[in-house]
């Protein structure tokens, strides 16, 4: 990365993002993302998995711009179902149901939807400023990483995801180990010998993450939702006054500002992102306010909706500077980069500035599109919510099957997707989180390569992982996280 100023990098990013092709893909991403957010039981991860196969023949920057648009677009769309149906379109909008639906019952659905859209825009904008300011320094620091430091960083990432992303760290670690095992299937990258393929031709090249992700997050979600009757009873009210009044803005200013900064910094944490940000913002506003939350106060909508969009944007910082995913949706974006032959990591900002700065600039463009699109199209989204599930689910399954097949023109990939769809459904039944598995499947090859390179450098000695302050610090942090979870579990057991 040349020694340009941040402003020059940003201007270069806008030259990439504002090309006609990228504007189209950004629009397609945010539009589909809003639709994904509106459909209950079909989150941004599944939405990205469905559209990922069509990106094989488009430029890498356009691919990431579109898929990123799906992610933050879903944050916008999720508020609509939460406010009008009391059904969250995706997990980050769960807390919006509490006060958003109550506002709709009072005839204030318009201001609730309006403040959700404006708060989302403001939160995403402030988070993007943080992303632009912190990205280059963090990327420069990351260039100091060699193979041992990168190995320790990946260890910390996996431990953090297990620590923050699951109720049971034992189950999360089991899923991470299963993902690491799956990543070793296929040809050894160094020796060229087959591993765990059992002479099955479809396994010789390894297990592609895309059919696995589509199975775990697409097919499994469909199976789970088919047995759950979701009755979409839209609260019948005339949606008016979409622009909040002056008092609404006075009440919402503090929650929006706090939600913007809280969401951004929580979004930086692996396992954080939009979900934790929205819950943390709601808890903070409830503590600071003397109003009765849950009865339709606008602060209970403004804070969480701002925080979840800010958190979604902040989650891109570890991806663009360190090459590690903050959550499973970002992990799918890492997989998309790898599909296009781009190696995520500390060198990404230096070697592919068009991707990094093009994506950052496209977020500005995409958030403006979402603000302009969302409010006028609310009547259309209401009609979409009336479509019965028995019509939607066959369409989604068909898209998944076609997408899995077109990856390698292989029926074997379709079989892999369906197998992992069943496995994902069973995992949900027994409360196993699929995120650590798919994260480990993606990070596994990077971890193995950096680990083996480190051992080659040290002639087989593990002492190389304790030779630099960065490696030691990262390993200590990982160990403390594991020990703290065990300590907390011991305290709970002793207190009973």
pLDDT tens digits, residue range 298-333? 998 998 989 888 888 888 888 888 777 777 788 888
pLDDT-derived band at 173, boundaries 50, 70, 90: confident
In terms of residue numbers, what domain contains 461? 6-495
Of 486 and 1, which is predicted with more confidence?
486
pLDDT of residue 17: 92
> Can you tell me the distance from the alpha carbon of 180 to that of 199, in angstroms, rounded to the nearest whole number?
21
User: Above 60 in pLDDT, residue 235?
Assistant: no
What pLDDT, in 10s, does the model give residues 280-294?
888 888 888 888 888
Question: Is the residue at 486 inside a domain?
Answer: yes
Please give the residue that has the higher pLDDT: either 295 or 181. 181
Report yes or no on 276 lying in a domain.
yes
Alpha carbon distances (Å) from 106 to 30, 232, 296, 359: 30, 19, 8, 40
Determine, yes or no, domain membership for 462.
Answer: yes
CA 105 – CA 303 distance, rounded (Å) = 20
Dihedrals φ, ψ of 194, to 5°?
Answer: -75, 145
- What is the rounded CA–CA span in Å between residue 220 and residue 43? 12
Distance, CA of 275 to CA of 69 (rounded, Å): 17
| 322-368 confidence digits (pLDDT tens) | 777 777 788 888 888 888 888 887 778 888 888 989 999 999 999 88
The pLDDT of residue 20 is 92
Q: Could you tell me which residues come within 8 angstroms of residue 57 by beta carbon, excluding any fewer than 6 positions away?
A: none
> Using an 8 Å Cβ cutoff, are 139 and 351 in contact?
no
Mean pLDDT of 232-255: 74
Q: What is the mean pLDDT of residues 55-66?
A: 88
**What confidence score (pLDDT) does residue 2 get?**
43
Alpha carbons 80 and 84: distance in angstroms, whole number: 6
8 Å CB contact between 266 and 280: yes
Indicate whether 295 pLDDT > 80: yes
Q: How many domains does the chain have?
A: 1
Query: Does some domain include residue 1?
Result: no
Q: Is 261 contained in some domain? A: yes
How far apart are alpha carbons 37 and 24 in whole angstroms? 20
In a domain, 387, yes or no: yes
Given this model, what pLDDT does residue 40 score? 66
Query: For residue 233, is pLDDT > 90?
Result: no
- pLDDT-derived band at 1 (thresholds 50, 70, 90) equals very low
pLDDT at residue 236, as a whole number: 53
- Three-class secondary structure assignment of 326-350: CCHHHHHHHHHHHHCCCCCCCCHHH
């Amino acid at each position: 990365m040349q020694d340009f100023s941040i402003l020059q990098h940003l201007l270069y990013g806008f030259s990439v993002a504002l090309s006609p092709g990228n504007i189209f893909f950004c629009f397609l991403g945010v539009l589909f993302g809003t639709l994904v957010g509106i459909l209950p039981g079909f989150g941004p991860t599944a939405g990205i998995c469905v559209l990922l196969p069509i990106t094989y023949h488009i430029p890498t920057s356009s691919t990431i711009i579109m898929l990123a648009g799906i992610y933050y677009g879903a944050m916008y769309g999720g508020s609509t179902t939460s406010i009008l149906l009391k059904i969250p379109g995706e997990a980050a909008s769960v807390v919006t149901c509490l006060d958003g639906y109550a506002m709709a019952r009072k005839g204030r659905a318009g201001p609730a939807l309006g403040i959700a859209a404006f708060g989302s825009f403001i939160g995403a904008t402030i988070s993007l400023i943080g992303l632009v300011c912190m990205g280059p320094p963090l990327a420069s620091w990351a260039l100091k990483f060699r193979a041992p430091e990168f190995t320790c960083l990946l260890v910390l990432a996996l431990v953090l995801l297990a620590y923050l992303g699951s109720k049971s760290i034992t189950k999360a670690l089991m899923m991470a180990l299963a993902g690491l095992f799956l990543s070793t299937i296929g040809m050894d990258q160094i020796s060229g010998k087959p591993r765990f393929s059992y002479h099955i031709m479809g396994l010789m090249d390894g297990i592609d993450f895309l059919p696995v992700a589509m199975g775990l997050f697409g097919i499994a979600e469909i199976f789970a939702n088919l047995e759950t009757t979701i009755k979409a009873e839209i609260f019948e009210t005339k949606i008016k006054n979409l622009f909040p009044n002056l008092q609404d803005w006075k009440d919402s200013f503090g929650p929006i500002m706090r939600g913007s900064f809280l969401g951004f910094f929580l979004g930086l944490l692996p396992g954080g992102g939009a979900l934790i940000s929205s819950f943390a913002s709601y808890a903070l506003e409830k503590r600071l306010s003397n109003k009765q939350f849950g009865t339709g106060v606008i602060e209970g909508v403004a804070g969480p909706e701002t925080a979840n969009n800010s958190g979604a944007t902040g989650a891109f910082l570890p991806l663009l500077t360190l090459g590690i995913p903050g959550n499973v949706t970002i992990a799918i974006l890492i997989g998309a980069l790898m599909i296009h032959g781009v190696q995520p990591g500390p060198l990404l900002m230096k070697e592919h500035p068009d991707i990094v700065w093009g994506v950052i600039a496209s977020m500005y463009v995409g958030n403006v599109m979402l603000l302009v699109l969302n409010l006028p199209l609310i009547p259309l989204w209401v009609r979409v919510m009336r479509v019965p599930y028995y019509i939607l689910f066959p369409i989604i399954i068909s898209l998944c099957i076609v997408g899995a097949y077109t990856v390698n023109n292989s029926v074997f990939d379709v079989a892999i997707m369906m197998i992992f769809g069943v496995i994902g459904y069973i995992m949900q039944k027994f409360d196993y989180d699929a995120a650590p598995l798919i994260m480990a499947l993606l990070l596994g090859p990077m971890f193995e390569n950096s680990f083996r390179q480190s051992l080659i450098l040290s002639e087989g000695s593990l002492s190389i992982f304790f030779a630099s302050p960065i490696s030691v610090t990262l390993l200590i942090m990982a160990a403390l996280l594991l020990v703290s979870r065990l300590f907390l579990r011991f305290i709970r057991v002793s207190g009973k």
